[in-house]
Chain A
C-alpha cells in the first residue's frame, strides 16, 4: 500500500504525536463525562468477578489461594502490614482529593458527607462505586450535601491537588495507582482474610458476589438501553448477574456471556449507531488525527482468516497432544522430568516476538511517546504468534501426561491452564474495553480471547477423554481425520478471495502460485499450523497484489 507523504500528512503525523488522545474517549468526551454509570458498573462487575474467583478457592473449595506475585504479598508480616496500610491511605487520599476537586467553586461538602466519602473510598475496588455517586451528587447539588463557603486558607495540599490533576491525564501514573493502590490491597486483603479470619473471608466473599451481581444487573440494564442489541443478545446479556453469583470454576461463564453480548463486537454494532455516538470526533480536520489506522480497518474476509488461524492453532494443540500421547504410550515420552525445563525455556523464548508485538504496540498506542513503535500496533497477528508456541507446549505436556497415565498431574495442569485462560480472557477483555473507550479501536476482542477459550476448552475435553486410555485410539483417529477436513475450510478462508481452482490458473504469476499452494497444503496437513507465521507474512507482504490478481482472474465482462 502506498503511503502518502505530502505536507499535510506530515503535519497530521506531527500533531497526532503530541495529541493526548487518551484524555478523551472514542466519542470525543472527557473521561469525567464519558465514564458514566455503565462504565463504573462494568468495571465493578469485572473487578468483583476476578476478586470472587480468588476468594472462592479458600471459602468454597477449602484450598489455600496461591500467592499472586506482588499483588497478594503485601500483608502478613509487620513490614507488609505497614506497606498495606500506607497503600490504603494513599488510595483514600488520592480518591478523596480527586473527588473534592470536582466540587464547584464557592461550595463545600458538609462534614459527615466527607467522612462517609473517605470511609467508602478506602475499600479497594468497591470504593470505586463512590465516583459515580459523587458525580450524581455534584450534578444535583442538593442543599443537604453542600453549603456555600469561601475558600479556605492556603495549604500545601492545594499545590499537590494541581499536580494530581495533571498526573491524572497520564496513563502511567494511573497504572501505578491501579496496581499499587487498588489491586494490591484487594488481593493482599483477601489473602490475609482467608489465612487469619475464615468467617470474615466468607462474609467478604458473599459481599463480593452480591456486589458483582448487583453491578452486573445495573450494567446490563444501562448497556441494553444504550446499545443496538438484537433480542437474542439481550437475552443472554441479562443472564450476566446470575453468572456472577456462581463460585469458581463456574463464574467465568460470566465472561463468556459478557464477551459476545457486550459492546465492542463491531459486526453487531450498526454503522449508523457508531456514527451518531462518535459524531463529535468526526469533524474535519480533527478526524484525520482521531481515526484508527488504515491497517486496523478490515472486513469479513480478514475476520475469516483470523478465525481460521484460531481453529488451526486449536488443532495444532490437539495434534501435538495426540502425538505426544502416542509417543508416551510407547514408553519414550517427549517431555520427561529432565527436559521439561528446557521445553519451558524454549516456549518462553518462542513467545517473545509475539508478546513484544502485543506489548510494544499497546505502549506505542497508549503513550504520546515512542511513536516509532506505533507500526507494531498495526500488526494484527501478535496474538497468534504468542499463542502458537503456547498451544504446542500445552498440547505436548497434556498428551505426555495422558499417555503416561499421570492423571493427577494432568488434572492439575489443565486446571492451571484453564484458570490462566480465564484470567487472560478477562484481562484481554478489560484491556480492549479500556482501549475502545479511549481510542475507539475497531478491534474484535472476541477473536483473541476466543482463541484462548477454544484452546483450553479443547484441552479440557481432551484430558477427560485421555484419562480413560481406551478412548485414546479412536480419539486420535478422530483428530487425525478432523484435522485435514477442517484444514480445507481453513485453506478456503486464507486463500479468499481466490478459489482452490484459481491456483492452477496460468495467468497468476508463478511466485504467487507457489506461495498460495504452500499455504493451501500447510492449511490442510496436520501440524501445518506451524506455518501460520508464514501465512501471515504472505498476506502482509503480498495482500494488495493478491487481491488485485483475484479481481483480474474474475473480472466481469465490461
Chain B
C-alpha cells in the first residue's frame, strides 16, 4: 500500500473531525470499509479503536445523533474487548502461523492486554505458533524482557508460578538459559511445577538426549513427580537405546522400587511402538537388576511383559510366590496373546487368588481378554462375577464396573439395562463415578442406556435439584462425546442436542470437536461439522482453531475476526428490560414472556423483572380504583432467579420493599422476615449481609412502613441477637451488632414519640452488652466512609444547581462505572429517567471517558446511557419511546460488523 493511503488511513478521521465535517465522517464509517482497511493495513485494531473514541464519538455527541452514538460506542466497545477475546492461546497461535499481517495482529492484541501476566502468556502462545525465524526471535526476546520484569516484582506470588508453568510448556526450551533465574524468584514449593513444565516442554520436542531435559528433571527432584510423567513420556519417543535412557532416569531415583516402576513404565510404553526393541531391553534390564514383583509392576510393564517369550514368562511365573501376582502376570500375557492356552493358565491362577478387590479386577480383565468361545462358559463366568458385585453392592473401582458392563453388553445383552440400573441405584455410587463410568465404558449400547436415563440418574444421585441439573448436563456431554468417538458418527449428537440448552450444546460441541479431530479417516471432517453447529461465535472460532490445524486465511482476516468476536448481547438485554418499562403494563405476563424472560444475562433479567413489577404496581395504583397489588408480587415470587446467595442477599431489601406494598401486617412481616433471613444466611460473607441489612434499615427510615409497623419491625430486629437461630448465626450477629446499631438508631429517630418508646427500650437492652470502647468504635461508622463528592451525588442537586450536579454525577459514573443492575444505583436511575434530555449528553461524554479504561467500564457506562436514552416512565409507560428502542436495536445490530462489506471488483 502506498504511503498516501497509509497516511489517509491514519489521519482521515482526525481531519474530518477537525473540520467538523460530520456528514462525511459518518459516511466514511458507514458506507465504506474504512475500519476494516485500517485494521488490515495498520496491523491491528488500535488505530480503529482510537479513531472511534477520539473523533467519531464526539462527532455523534456534538451532532446530537444518538443512534450513531450508540452504533459507534458499541463498535468502540467491541474493539476494546477484542484484545481480551483474541488472547485465547488457540487464536494467537493460529494468527502467528498465518503470516506477517496476522502476526502483527496477534502482537497488537497481546500488547493491548492490561494484565502483564496475561501479556506474557499471550507472547508465549504467539512464540509457540510462529515458525522459526527472525520474527519468532523478536517475540521470544520481548517475552524474555517481560518475564525479567515480572520476576523482579513477583516476590513469590503463587499465580506467577502458574503463569510461568504455562509459559514453560509453550516456550520452555527456547528460553532455557533463563529458567533457573526466574524460578529462583519463586517461593519455596512452587519451583517443581515450573520445572516439570519445562521438562514437559522438552519431552514434546522429542529429543530424549537433550541435556537440558535431564537438567530440568534433576532440578525437579521429587521422585513421585518424575514417575508421574517422565517414564511414559520418554517411552513414547523413538528410543534407539531404551537401556541407556533408563540408566539416566534411574540415576535420578534413589529408591530401588521407584527405579523398577520407572523401568516397567518406560518399557511398557516403548512396547506399544517398538515391541521387539522393548522386549530385548526388558530382558537386558531384568538380567541387570533382579525385580521385586508386584501387581503394580506387572500392570505398568504389561505391554512389554505380554510380548516376552513363553519360556521367559514361565521363568518369571516360577519365581513368583504370591498367587495374586502370578495371576496378574498370566492375565497380562492373556491380554497380549488372547489364546485359549493363555486363558486356561490365567484361569488356573485366578482360582488361587483370595476374594477381594484384586481378584475382582484381574477376573474382569481376564474375562475381557479371553476368547469368546465357548459362549456358555463365558456367560457363566460373567454371571459369577456379577453375583459378587451384587453382593458387595457394586462397591468397586469404576474401571472394573465399566469392564463388567461391557462384558454384560457383550455376553448377556438381554440383561444390560437391568444391570446398569442396578449399578446406578447402588447406594455408594456418586455422581463423579457415573461420569467416570461414561468415559470408561467401550460398548455403544451401554452409552445409549446411560444417555437414555441421564435425567433419572440425576434424581437418584444428586441431593439437590440444582446439582442434579448440572450432573444431567455433564453426563449427557461426556457420554455423547464417548459415543460419537466410538462410532465415528454424529448421529447421537443430533438426538442428544435436543435435550440440552443451547449453551450446553455449545459446550458439548466444544469438547467433541477436538476428540473427533484426533481420529484418523473422517474424524477431521466430522470435527468441522461439529464446529459449524456452535452458536457462540467466539467459542466456534476457538474450537475450530483448536481442532483444525489448517485454517483458511479469510477466517483470520481482521473483519472476520471482529465479526466472530463482537458482542452486543448485554446491551440488547438492557434495551429489552427498558422496553418493558416503556409499554403500558395492562398485561404484565405478556410483557414478561415477550421481553423479560428471553433476556440472557441473569442479573439484567432479575433487575428487569423487579423494575417491571414496580412499573405494574405503580400502574395499578394510578389506574384502578381497586388495584391488584398481589399480581406483580406473585410474578416476582415465582419468576425471580438469583445465581448466588450473595445476589439474593443484595436483592433482599428491594424484594422486601416490594412485598411490603401489600400493606398492613404483611408489610411488617416482610421486613421482619428479610432481616431474619439476612442475619441467618451464614453462607454469605458478613459484609454483604451487613450492606443489605443497612439498605433494609435505610428503607425503613425512609418511610417504607407506617410508624406503628416500623416500630414493630425495629423491635423484632433489635431482638435478633437474643432470638436468632441457628446459634452460630446468632453469635456472628452479636459480634457485628455494633455495626448495625447506628442504622437502627437512625431509623428509630424518625418515629414519632408515641411509637419510639418501646423501640428505645429494646435499643437500650441491646446496648447492655456493648462496652464503652466498642461504643466509641461506632463513631467512624456514623461518620461514614463515603467521600464528600459521592455524598453530594446521593443527596441530589441543590436548588438552581441541577446542571452542575448532573455534570458531577456523570463524572462520578465515568470514574467508578457503577453496574446498572446494582440495587444501590436505583435512586440515581430514577432521577435519570425523569430528566433524560439533560442526562443524555452528559452520560455520552461519560461513556467516551469510561471506554479508555476498558470494555467492562465502557459497557457499564453505555448501559447507563441507554437508561437516559430510552428513559421509561414507571407506572405510565411511554409508547413513543418504543421507536427509540427499535432504533437502538438497529444501531446495535450494525455494530456486529466492522463496516459494510467490500463491493466485489
Contact residues of A with B, CB < 8 Å? 1-4, 6-8, 11-12, 14-15, 18-20, 23-24, 28-30, 33, 101-102, 104-105, 151-155, 158-159, 161-163, 165-166, 169, 228, 230, 266-268, 270-276, 279-292, 294, 297-303, 442, 496-497, 499, 544, 547-548, 550-552, 554-556, 558
A6 CA to B576 CA in the complex, in Å? 16
13 other contacts beyond A30-B463, A270-B670, with CB at 8 A cut-off?
A3-B593, A4-B593, A19-B455, A19-B469, A19-B472, A24-B468, A158-B393, A166-B460, A271-B670, A282-B642, A442-B638, A558-B873, A558-B878
B493 to chain A, nearest CB (A): 15
- Please name all residues of chain B whose beta carbon is closer than 8 Å to the beta carbon of A3 when the two chains form the complex: 593
Q: Is the CB of A555 within 8 A of B669?
A: no
A151 CA to B426 CA in the complex, in Å? 13
Q: Is the CB of A544 within 8 A of B623?
A: no
A283 CA to B639 CA in the complex, in Å? 11
Q: Is the CB of B593 within 8 A of A1?
A: yes
Is B427 positioned at the interface, with any CB of A under 8 Å from its CB? yes
Q: Is the CB of B425 within 8 A of A162?
A: yes
Q: Is the CB of B669 within 8 A of A154?
A: no
Q: Which of A30, A162, A300 is B421 in contact with, Cβ under 8 Å?
A: A162
Q: Is the CB of A1 within 8 A of B425?
A: no
Q: Is the CB of A284 within 8 A of B388?
A: no
Q: Is the CB of B456 within 8 A of A272?
A: no
A288 to chain B, nearest CB (A): 8
Q: Is the CB of B459 within 8 A of A24?
A: yes
Interface string of B456-487 (1 = CB under 8 A from A): 10111011111011001000000000000000
Question: Which are the 5 A-B pairs with shortest beta-carbon distances?
Answer: A299-B631, A23-B459, A154-B391, A28-B465, A551-B586
Q: Which of B463, B598, B622, B629 is A556 in contact with, Cβ under 8 Å?
A: B622
Query: Given A290-B465, A297-B634, do A8 and B502 touch, yes or no (CB 8 Å)?
Result: yes
- Please name all residues of chain B whose beta carbon is closer than 8 Å to the beta carbon of A8 when the two chains form the complex: 501-502, 598
Query: Given A151-B392, A271-B633, A282-B642, do A551 and B584 touch, yes or no (CB 8 Å)?
Result: yes
B405 to chain A, nearest CB (A): 14
- Please name all residues of chain B whose beta carbon is closer than 8 Å to the beta carbon of A155 when the two chains form the complex: 390-391
A447 to chain B, nearest CB (A): 14
**Subset of 10 A-B contacts with CB under 8 Å:** A15-B501, A19-B472, A272-B652, A273-B677, A279-B642, A284-B641, A290-B465, A300-B628, A497-B624, A544-B590
Q: Which of A169, A280, A299 is B466 in contact with, Cβ under 8 Å?
A: A280
Query: Given A266-B634, A273-B677, A300-B631, do A283 and B598 touch, yes or no (CB 8 Å)?
Result: no
B537 to chain A, nearest CB (A): 16
Q: Is the CB of A548 within 8 A of B586?
A: yes
B507 to chain A, nearest CB (A): 13
Q: Which of B421, B592, B598, B655 is A163 in contact with, Cβ under 8 Å?
A: B421
A19 CA to B598 CA in the complex, in Å? 21
- Please name all residues of chain A whose beta carbon is closer than 8 Å to the beta carbon of B673 when the two chains form the complex: 228, 270, 272-273
- Please name all residues of chain B whose beta carbon is closer than 8 Å to the beta carbon of A268 when the two chains form the complex: 666
- Please name all residues of chain B whose beta carbon is closer than 8 Å to the beta carbon of A102 when the two chains form the complex: 427
Interface string of B396-435 (1 = CB under 8 A from A): 0000000000000000000000100110111110000000
- Please name all residues of chain A whose beta carbon is closer than 8 Å to the beta carbon of B395 when the two chains form the complex: 105, 151
Is B648 positioned at the interface, with any CB of A under 8 Å from its CB? yes
Q: Which of A163, A272, A281 is B677 in contact with, Cβ under 8 Å?
A: A272
- Please name all residues of chain A whose beta carbon is closer than 8 Å to the beta carbon of B465 when the two chains form the complex: 23-24, 28-29, 280-281, 286, 290
Is B798 positioned at the interface, with any CB of A under 8 Å from its CB? no
Closest to A303 in B: B630
Interface residues on B, range: 35 or more
Is B757 positioned at the interface, with any CB of A under 8 Å from its CB? no
- Please name all residues of chain A whose beta carbon is closer than 8 Å to the beta carbon of B421 when the two chains form the complex: 162-163, 166
A266 to chain B, nearest CB (A): 7
B19 to chain A, nearest CB (A): 43
- Please name all residues of chain A whose beta carbon is closer than 8 Å to the beta carbon of B428 when the two chains form the complex: 105
Q: Which of A165, A281, A287, A294 is B460 in contact with, Cβ under 8 Å?
A: A165
Q: Is the CB of B623 within 8 A of A554?
A: yes
Is B534 positioned at the interface, with any CB of A under 8 Å from its CB? no
A401 CA to B593 CA in the complex, in Å? 53
Q: Is the CB of B638 within 8 A of A24?
A: no
Q: Is the CB of A300 within 8 A of B630?
A: yes
A496 CA to B463 CA in the complex, in Å? 45
Closest to A12 in B: B501
Q: Is the CB of A274 within 8 A of B464?
A: no
- Please name all residues of chain A whose beta carbon is closer than 8 Å to the beta carbon of B656 when the two chains form the complex: 271-272
Closest to A30 in B: B463
Is B776 positioned at the interface, with any CB of A under 8 Å from its CB? no
- Please name all residues of chain A whose beta carbon is closer than 8 Å to the beta carbon of B584 when the two chains form the complex: 548, 551, 555
Is B637 positioned at the interface, with any CB of A under 8 Å from its CB? yes
Q: Is the CB of A299 within 8 A of B624?
A: no
Q: Tell me the dominant secondary structure on chain B's binding face.
A: helix
> Which of B424, B456, B645 has the most A CB atoms < 10 Å from its CB?
B456
- Please name all residues of chain A whose beta carbon is closer than 8 Å to the beta carbon of B876 when the two chains form the complex: 556, 558
- Please name all residues of chain B whose beta carbon is closer than 8 Å to the beta carbon of A554 when the two chains form the complex: 623-624
Is B499 positioned at the interface, with any CB of A under 8 Å from its CB? yes
- Please name all residues of chain A whose beta carbon is closer than 8 Å to the beta carbon of B674 when the two chains form the complex: 272
Closest to B392 in A: A151
> Which of A19, A155, A266, A267 has the most B CB atoms < 10 Å from its CB?
A19
- Please name all residues of chain A whose beta carbon is closer than 8 Å to the beta carbon of B598 when the two chains form the complex: 4, 6, 8
Query: Given A270-B670, A273-B677, do A158 and B390 touch, yes or no (CB 8 Å)?
Result: yes
- Please name all residues of chain A whose beta carbon is closer than 8 Å to the beta carbon of B472 when the two chains form the complex: 19
Closest to B670 in A: A270
Q: Is the CB of B630 within 8 A of A297?
A: no
- Please name all residues of chain A whose beta carbon is closer than 8 Å to the beta carbon of B390 when the two chains form the complex: 154-155, 158-159
A405 to chain B, nearest CB (A): 46
A39 CA to B632 CA in the complex, in Å? 30
Q: Which of A282, A499, A552, A556 is B641 in contact with, Cβ under 8 Å?
A: A282
Is B635 positioned at the interface, with any CB of A under 8 Å from its CB? yes
- Please name all residues of chain A whose beta carbon is closer than 8 Å to the beta carbon of B623 when the two chains form the complex: 497, 551, 554-556
Query: Given A154-B387, A497-B628, do A291 and B638 touch, yes or no (CB 8 Å)?
Result: yes
Q: Is the CB of A547 within 8 A of B635?
A: no
Closest to B605 in A: A284
Closest to A23 in B: B459
Q: Is the CB of B628 within 8 A of A301?
A: yes
Q: Which of A104, A153, A267, A297 is B638 in contact with, Cβ under 8 Å?
A: A297
Q: Which of B589, B619, B636, B665 is A551 in contact with, Cβ under 8 Å?
A: B619
Q: Which of B499, B589, B873 is A15 in contact with, Cβ under 8 Å?
A: B499
Q: Is the CB of A299 within 8 A of B659?
A: no
Closest to A293 in B: B638
A7 CA to B594 CA in the complex, in Å? 14
A8 CA to B504 CA in the complex, in Å? 11
A126 to chain B, nearest CB (A): 27
A20 CA to B462 CA in the complex, in Å? 12
Closest to A7 in B: B502
Closest to B386 in A: A154
A486 CA to B587 CA in the complex, in Å? 29
A104 CA to B590 CA in the complex, in Å? 50
Q: Is the CB of B460 within 8 A of A169?
A: yes
Q: Is the CB of B625 within 8 A of A499?
A: yes
Is B357 positioned at the interface, with any CB of A under 8 Å from its CB? no
A205 CA to B673 CA in the complex, in Å? 42
- Please name all residues of chain A whose beta carbon is closer than 8 Å to the beta carbon of B88 when the two chains form the complex: none
- Please name all residues of chain A whose beta carbon is closer than 8 Å to the beta carbon of B42 when the two chains form the complex: none
- Please name all residues of chain B whose beta carbon is closer than 8 Å to the beta carbon of A152 when the two chains form the complex: 391
A289 to chain B, nearest CB (A): 8
Q: Is the CB of A271 within 8 A of B466?
A: no
Query: Given A279-B642, A281-B466, do A299 and B634 touch, yes or no (CB 8 Å)?
Result: yes
- Please name all residues of chain B whose beta carbon is closer than 8 Å to the beta carbon of A1 when the two chains form the complex: 587, 589-590, 593
Q: Is the CB of B391 within 8 A of A158?
A: yes
- Please name all residues of chain B whose beta carbon is closer than 8 Å to the beta carbon of A300 when the two chains form the complex: 628-631
Query: Given A15-B501, A298-B634, A499-B625, do A165 and B392 touch, yes or no (CB 8 Å)?
Result: no
A44 CA to B521 CA in the complex, in Å? 65
